[in-house]
Amino acid sequence: MPTLELTPEEIQLLEETLEYDLSELRMEIVDTDRLEFKSALKHRKELLMGILEKLERCEVAPVLA
């Protein structure tokens, strides 16, 4: 599995960005009438939630200078 090294500040920004996108996506899903598009949006929401969950479980290692 690939490894991605992020600073605590980058992790916080990524979490905030994912949470914002999820919020916007939820509203878009509610407002969408086309079933195909709604299904695609729901799939995207699941992917984003999975990424956010993984990010929240990440271990934060001390940064060595």
For 20-57, what is each residue's pLDDT tens digit? 999 999 999 999 999 999 999 999 999 999 999 988 88
Judged by DSSP in three states, 21 sits in: helix
Closest CA to 60 of 1, 2, 7: 7
Q: Residue 22 and residue 47: Cα distance in Å, rounded?
A: 10
How many whole angstroms from its chain centre is CA 44? 9
The answer to whether the CB of 14 falls within 8 A of the CB of 55 is yes
Provide the whole-model pTM.
0.79
Closest CA to 41 of 59, 60, 28: 28
